[in-house]
Structure 1
Amino acid sequence: MKRFFTSILVVVMAFTVVSPAAFANEDHVTANSLANKASSAILIERDTGTVLFDKNADEKLPPASMTKIMTMILVMEALHKGKINMKDKVRTSEYAASMGGSQIFLEAGEEMSVEEMLKGIALASGNDASVALGEFIAGTNDAFVKLMNDKAKELGLKNTNFENATGLPGKEHYSTARDMALMAKELLKYEQITKYTGKYEDYLRQNTDKKFWLVNTNKLVKFYPGVDGLKTGYTHEAKYCLTATAKKNDMRVIAVVMGAPTTKERNAQVTQMLDYAFANYETQKLYERHQMIDDVEVQKGISKTVQMATSEPISVLMKKGEKKLKLKTEIKIKKNVKMPIEKGDRLGTIIVKNNGKKVTESPLVASENVQSANWWALFKRTVGKFSQTP
């Protein structure tokens, strides 16, 4: 094991104070005025997960099409692990084609690439595309919904249950503003997702007589600088919902509003929340996502070591105008890692402290797959150790 990163690293960070006046209409926004026309809401800083504001954030409510954030998490996870790729062709089943509500009008038997289907979900909130991609990943719609609920448990979402991949109404289909923010935080680990959620318009079925114009249901991607996602939602029961994300400088925030009375109010509530965040807070990035941290020794693997990397960007958050922080970074390595190791498996934890108090922590994961070594390779390795013994 390399010793450099197993010791505690001391980092002194200097922060530049940015005037709240640098952002239009932000100087008068206060926490007390936020989300006053929504059933529930929450505002978090993405990297640390720090809650900057919340209102009834744990109230179980129908999430409508914001459900598709979890659908997209599973799509991006499958892409990241190499189980599917963007060029794979997805065949539309009769069931997927029968979805009502928002859709890209897939016909039974029609094929589109994974990337095209993802566009249909991210921009047009296509129910048919969501089901088709879910069936492609898991085999059946029911199996995909099970994956959604399993992932919710893995993420520690205590007040979420899915009955479908679309957000269409269901008696036991519910979530909360807090859980939606945590799902958004997870989805944003896959930074390329904003290539799709941040577009205002695109096309499907190019070069055919059925060319289909996609317009993003989240109008803030056009009208609020820095907004590049993530998902709107509407049903009669849920009213108007939005999970939005925006980035300014090094800080990315997530705002969730559920149960707003109109589209206009929904967008206004989210806009005020974003203004409040950028007027009052700033971050300093410590590590990028996928940044290599150390080599970890493994037993019984084809390789003797595996590279351990950050699973997501790691930053510290502070209020504007605060003094510089003195930070210590501690690396903890997981013991007795079992073989085989799959890319993304947790190998350790990175903990950042300020004056001895933890300010953030994040998993460290395997950057590659490591298969188990066969008995002959292990035998030769053991013999080699003995032959080197003086």
Structure 2
Amino acid sequence: MKKIIGLVTCFMLAAGVLVPEAFAAEKKNELAPEAKSAILIEQATGEVLYSKNSHEELPPASMTKIMTMLLIMEALDKGEIKMDEKVRTSEYAASMGGSQIFLEPGEEMTVEQMLKGIAIGSANDAAVAMAERIGGSEEAFVDKMNERAKALGLKNTHFENVTGLPVKGHYSSAYDMAVMAKQLLKHHGITHFTGKYEDYLREGSDKKFWLVNTNKLVRNYPGVDGLKTGFTNEAKFCLTATAKKNGMRVIAVVFGAPSTKVRNAQVSKMLDYAFSQYTSHPLYKKGAALDQVKVSKGSMRHVRAVTSEPVSVLTKKGVKLSNLKKTVKLKKNVQAPVQKGDEIGTLTISQDGKVLSKTTLVADKTVKRAGWWQLFKRAAGMFVQKD
């Protein structure tokens, strides 16, 4: 059989036909042979560099907290909570088993301290306390997690709790976890927590608590600054890791490795592969203005369309970029009010008909609805708007 496959491959190569699937299969066996599933993506473009059973539904264990942290960061952005706000621990939150920071019923910690406990120590009690603060209950927060997963287009994810503790019907996939991680990393402040190897809680008291990151690659692999480990007897050893080197950030996910050592080795090999074989070409910084959109009945007649995140394209090392086509597509009939950060268009970068990058364009400021007097003067031609 091997001889036949070899002859077929040689024939295809001789005929000038590339067989990327064959090389991908070979690479698959090299990178994560002992994982149940795995994926490697470049963060800016989302391009998949390697995949193994990446849509298989599996228990994610504490990698669940990637979504928990995403909703916390989004609540911070919306002003629903603040980093220095104190959060009270319920009896239910304090009763969580597994990884914890041993919160006591009634104990208060700031959002920042709770987030530190979740990101570094994988604290189940802190995760539930934050879920109760944001959602009102863990159940309501879990509903928000599933709604967010649906909004992200995740088809192989369903949450039953905020911790990842084993329960029927709680699952995700390597691909879905990479998408969640990509979204979380848009909140640049998160790596301030996930990238720390150690820290302390309750400093200045006799209950000082030493936090040590469950992701040892933060200390052992240069450039790794997150994101989340996971382990249960059912899930085995899991890890969603991210690393940045020479301006390129990648995300590697492994489900179901047999040990911590194997898990870390396979993720390290995936990261090595990404950084040795690919390079990122930056094109625009976050917030770069590319066009403007007319706003109907707004206090301002136009709002600028800016990049929602840094824009880059990915190539194999040694490949030069040429003939890039940049296409800006803006929404029509945008009505006031418009909130800063609202999606108002897309930027597509392509080369020879192949899409290399697609980025959301957002409003650079809030535009309120114009008052009746302002609209009247415009209609009467008596007012010249200065934008």
Please say whether Structure 1 and Structure 2 have the same fold, judged by a TM-score greater than 0.5: yes
The CA distance in 2 between the partners of 1:377 and 1:209, in whole Å, is 63
Distance 1:284 1:60, change over 3 A: same
Deviation at 1:305, TM superposition (A): 2.7
| 3-state DSSP of counterpart to 1:325 | coil
TM-score of the pair, normalised by structure 2: 0.89
| 3-state DSSP of counterpart to 1:196 | helix
* 2:362 pairs with 1:365: yes
Please show how residues 181-330 of structure 1 align to structure 2 within 5 Å: 181-330=178-327
- The answer (yes or no) to whether the contact 1:199–1:228 under 8 Å persists in 2 is yes
| 3-state DSSP of counterpart to 1:37 | coil
The CA distance in 1 between the partners of 2:376 and 2:137, in whole Å, is 44
Distance 1:299 1:87, change over 3 A: same
Deviation at 1:386, TM superposition (A): 7.6
> Of the candidates 126, 129, 133, which is equivalent to residue 129 of structure 1?
126
The CA distance in 2 between the partners of 1:116 and 1:204, in whole Å, is 7
Partner residue in 1 for 2:87:
90
> Of the candidates 68, 71, 82, which is equivalent to residue 71 of structure 1?
68
Deviation at 1:107, TM superposition (A): 1.4
The CA distance in 2 between the partners of 1:135 and 1:308, in whole Å, is 36
Distance 1:335 1:222, change over 3 A: same
Partner residue in 2 for 1:58:
55
Deviation at 1:289, TM superposition (A): 2.3
> Of the candidates 135, 138, 141, which is equivalent to residue 138 of structure 1?
135
- The answer (yes or no) to whether the contact 1:288–1:313 under 8 Å persists in 2 is yes
- Give the aligned residue type for 2:141: F
- Give the aligned residue type for 1:267: N
Deviation at 1:385, TM superposition (A): 5.2
Residues 316-361 of structure 1: CA distance to partner in whole angstroms, max 9, x if unpaired? 0101122333212111111122433233221100000112322110
Could you tell me which runs of 5 or more consecutive residues in structure 1 were left unpaired when the two chains were aligned. Answer: 1-28
* 2:158 pairs with 1:161: yes
Deviation at 1:384, TM superposition (A): 4.1
Residues 119-146 of structure 1: CA distance to partner in whole angstroms, max 9, x if unpaired? 0110000111111112212222222111
Partner residue in 1 for 2:23:
none
The CA distance in 1 between the partners of 2:382 and 2:247, in whole Å, is 48
Could you tell me which runs of 5 or more consecutive residues in structure 2 were left unpaired when the two chains were aligned. Answer: 1-25
- The answer (yes or no) to whether the contact 1:160–1:174 under 8 Å persists in 2 is yes
The structure with the larger Rg is 2
Partner residue in 2 for 1:172:
169
- Give the aligned residue type for 1:222: R
- The answer (yes or no) to whether the contact 1:39–1:260 under 8 Å persists in 2 is yes
Q: CA RMSD in A?
A: 1.8
Pairs aligned (count): 360
- The answer (yes or no) to whether the contact 2:294–2:334 under 8 Å persists in 1 is no
| 3-state DSSP of counterpart to 1:183 | helix
Residues 259-285 of structure 1: CA distance to partner in whole angstroms, max 9, x if unpaired? 001011100010010011111111111
The CA distance in 1 between the partners of 2:138 and 2:65, in whole Å, is 14
The CA distance in 2 between the partners of 1:125 and 1:215, in whole Å, is 10
| 3-state DSSP of counterpart to 2:380 | helix
Distance 1:209 1:367, change over 3 A: farther
* 2:103 pairs with 1:106: yes
Identity of aligned residues (%): 64
Partner residue in 1 for 2:351:
354
- The answer (yes or no) to whether the contact 2:293–2:331 under 8 Å persists in 1 is no
The CA distance in 2 between the partners of 1:291 and 1:83, in whole Å, is 27
The CA distance in 2 between the partners of 1:65 and 1:387, in whole Å, is 57
Partner residue in 2 for 1:46:
43
The CA distance in 2 between the partners of 1:136 and 1:340, in whole Å, is 29
TM-score of the pair, normalised by structure 1: 0.88
> Of the candidates 23, 34, 46, which is equivalent to residue 37 of structure 1?
34
- The answer (yes or no) to whether the contact 2:63–2:230 under 8 Å persists in 1 is yes
- The answer (yes or no) to whether the contact 1:31–1:276 under 8 Å persists in 2 is no
The CA distance in 1 between the partners of 2:381 and 2:107, in whole Å, is 57
- Give the aligned residue type for 1:75: I
The CA distance in 2 between the partners of 1:386 and 1:302, in whole Å, is 12
Partner residue in 1 for 2:339:
342
The CA distance in 2 between the partners of 1:372 and 1:172, in whole Å, is 45
Partner residue in 2 for 1:382:
379
Partner residue in 2 for 1:151:
148
Distance 1:370 1:134, change over 3 A: farther
The CA distance in 2 between the partners of 1:284 and 1:69, in whole Å, is 27
| 3-state DSSP of counterpart to 1:52 | strand
| 3-state DSSP of counterpart to 2:296 | coil
| 3-state DSSP of counterpart to 2:283 | strand
Deviation at 1:31, TM superposition (A): 4.4
The CA distance in 1 between the partners of 2:292 and 2:107, in whole Å, is 46
Quick check: which one's helix share is greater?
Answer: 2
